[in-house]
Amino acid sequence: MTYDNDKRRRLLSRLGRGLAGTVPILALAAGGISLVDAEATPEAREGAWFLSSAYAEGGAEAQAEAQGEAEGEAAAEAEVESEAEAEGEAEGEGEAEGEAEGEAASAEAVRRPEGHVPAYSESGSNPAELLARGESLYYDTSLSGNGLACASCHGSDGNDIGYLATFAQPFPHRVAMADNQFGMNQVHADEMVQICMVAPMEAEPLAWGSEELTSLAAYVVEVQRRFAGESHDL
């Protein structure tokens, strides 16, 4: 199975359009994403295959393989290439060796900068306006580079999909994708938003302290509570 970056981009963008009328179609099972809607389009099925191979445990290796770029070059190089592309920068080129195991992308762009004090709360409640703004951004396809919105993969109308069981714990906590692809063994809500911005959304990270990042992170904190079956403000 060969997947180059162009094909992946086209695929995700078709997936995004295909999802417009058929959300929700994806759900994460223990080992990856599986389809839950029998009426999903062929593109979405193909996309689900891509997502499960890219994000399942150990998926970084599957991704390098799936990219089909290993021909005549080390798998590590293919991995670095795809990660650098996801970040929109070529950093990490010299780190190819250590990344053969799939340890992957630089966490620099997605980790809270030293001394950054976020303007949302992970332990208390957040203002209603912040949550309303976060919710509208969650459905906004213009945030991504591939036509997807957060809701394309994570569900709409309170039907939370695309999250693993670890999401039931309050932030900060371990997220498989953050660990596998960015080498971060636990993440805050705003860091997780940044990871989904640069990886599945194929976009630039949001500015630290921007109202977009603050409100999306605040919203995600409430989604986490809803997912865990706790009282929430959504």
Of residues 43 through 82, those in contact with ligand HEC by CB under 6 A are 51, 55
Under a CB-based contact definition with an 8 Å cutoff, are residues 145 and 203 in contact? yes
Kindly tell me which of 77 and 225 has the beta carbon lying closer to ligand HEC: 225
- The residues, any chain, with a CB within 8 Å of residue 38's CB and separated by 6 or more, are none
CB of 117 to ligand HEC, least distance (A): 20
User: Could you say which of 75, 192, 213, 218 contacts ligand HEC (CB under 6 A)?
Assistant: 192
Of residues 135 through 174, those in contact with ligand HEC by CB under 6 A are 143, 148, 150, 152-154, 162-164, 166-167
Kindly tell me which of 21 and 94 has the beta carbon lying closer to ligand HEC: 21
- Which one-letter DSSP state was computed for residue 43? H
Kindly tell me which of 40 and 143 has the beta carbon lying closer to ligand HEC: 143
Q: CA-CA distance, 91 to 83, in Å (whole number)?
A: 9
Our finding on whether 213 is near ligand HEC (CB under 6 A) is: no
Helix (H/G/I), strand (E/B), else coil: 108: coil
Our finding on whether 36 is near ligand HEC (CB under 6 A) is: no
Number of residues that bind ligand HEC (CB under 6 A): 25
Q: Which stretch binds ligand HEC (CB under 6 A): 17-25, 70-78, 93-101, 192-200?
A: 192-200
Our finding on whether 40 is near ligand HEC (CB under 6 A) is: no
Contacts for 147-150: CB closer than 8 Å, 24+ residues apart: 147/12, 147/13, 147/15, 147/16, 147/17, 148/12, 148/15, 148/16, 148/19, 148/200, 148/201, 149/16, 150/196, 150/201, 150/216
Our finding on whether 196 is near ligand HEC (CB under 6 A) is: yes
Report the alpha-carbon angle 72-78-6, nearest 5: 105
User: Could you say which of 80, 198, 201, 213 contacts ligand HEC (CB under 6 A)?
Assistant: 201
- The residues, any chain, with a CB within 8 Å of residue 137's CB and separated by 6 or more, are 143, 150, 212, 215, 216, 219
Our finding on whether 210 is near ligand HEC (CB under 6 A) is: no
Q: CA-CA distance, 53 to 177, in Å (whole number)?
A: 12
By the criterion CB under 6 A, which residues form the site for ligand HEC?
A: 28, 51, 55, 143, 148, 150, 152-154, 162-164, 166-167, 175-177, 192-193, 196-197, 200-201, 216, 220
